[in-house]
Amino acid sequence: MMPLTNRKPTLLLTATIMCAGLYAIGSYVTAYIPSPWGAGQFRPAVVIPALFATVFGPLPAGIGAALGTFIADSVKYGYPYPGSYLAAVPGNFVGFYLFGYIVRKFTWSRFILATNITLTLANFIVAALYVLVFKILYLNDPKYLAFSSPALVVFILGLTIWWFVTMLPFVLLVTPVLIRVVATAFPALVSEDVRVHGLREELPHTTFSLSLLIPGLIMLIIGLVITVTPLGESLITFFGSTTVSLIEIMFYASGVVLLILGLLTKLRSKL
């Protein structure tokens, strides 16, 4: 089992190409499922660069995620999409490079930490660059130029939260299974830390369940704030009643789903 620093360049190049290709395919499959905000898309394929970050380290995951998202977006739009290379590419690179850096000495606690930090930071970078750089600076989109500063902040944070919530269960529930499969089937590919902890160490159930329960509770609180406070009316002014209704549904539904998953994880640990 080679340490990450001693791996051959050809292996790392191959891993990068595989990560990019698989991520592009996985991202394209759900590319036409939009967010309630009218921007962004459903992307459970983030499990792929998360897996490569754990097994092969920061660079193959960061570069593979950046290339993969650019390929998927370019195929979707039929040309090199500026919104991708101005926003999605840098966000994916930073996020999954950081993921690989955090789990370079692998434990399941580090994996959970990497998941939460990466999905928060990377999605915020993508959302901020998409709105401020692509829509406003690059396109001079009149719709976005008409937004007040608070509305832009709400839009960026809302898009960040939507991505985070829709990606979190997949990374936490699917990627550990994939890591164990790779560690079992190809032990020579993974580091000693991944092989030992991935196969022998149980997931820290309390930390794992809290990683689902806390975001779920926050989503429900945000939904209630939109419903029962003047914030909802303010959002309708900028985004329209239909969009705000979809946003409310998003927060309630995602909150309930995350809470259920967190409770099921906690109950399973006691059986």
Residues 6+ away with beta carbon under 8 Å from 122: 91, 92, 94, 95, 96, 98
| C-beta of residue 107 within 8 angstroms of C-beta of residue 197 | yes
Collapsing DSSP to helix, strand or coil, 7 comes out as coil
The mean per-residue pLDDT over the stretch 73-89 comes to: 96
What amino acid is encoded at 120 in this protein? T
Specify the pLDDT at position 209: 87
| pTM (2 d.p.) | 0.88
Tell me how far CA of residue 260 lies from CA of 50, 169, 214, 252, 269, in angstroms.
23, 11, 11, 12, 14
Lowest mean pLDDT among 22-26, 175-179, 200-204, 247-251: 200-204
Q: How would residue 7 be classed by pLDDT, with cut points 50, 70 and 90?
A: low
Name the fold adopted by 4-140+167-203: Arp2/3 complex 21 kDa subunit ARPC3 (1.10.1760)
* pLDDT tens track for 144-168: 898 888 889 988 998 999 899 889 9
Q: Where are the domains of the chain?
A: 4-140+167-203, 204-271
pLDDT of residue 233: 86
